[in-house]
Structure 1
Amino acid sequence: MSQDQCVKALAEHARITPLVTLTVWNELQKENKDFFRAYFQVISPRPFMSRYFQRGARIARRKQWK
């Protein structure tokens, strides 16, 4: 669940204002840097996959030149 999804879910289901959720989220980020570093790695697209696909395209172009 992303930060935006969390804010929306708490506002809708628990009636917690977005300002409160964002304030708590920011403080938690300060307190638990390692957790959020791992969290952001899990929810973000993996950059090595895009490099793999780019490499495949370059290899295909090289084969055309030969």
Structure 2
Amino acid sequence: MVLAAWLIVAILKRYRAHTDGSPPVEKSGNMVRCAVCGVHTPESEAVISGGQHYCCEAHFLQRKKE
């Protein structure tokens, strides 16, 4: 009985050592291409204006000045 309990504990410890405890990666949704640099960014994080997508506000402002 003690041997079975020790074996279960050893297996659980080994299993926990292989999992890093980090949360699962969440899906980012659709990826869109920045109109300035071409970097792909999750649509939920992109700056969108006039049907164009930008990876950051700086690229949006850069295109706006042109």
Q: TM-score, normalised by structure 2?
A: 0.29
Q: Of the two, which has the highest radius of gyration?
A: 2
Give TM-score, length-normalised by structure 1: 0.29
More strand by share: 2
Structure with greater helix percent:
1
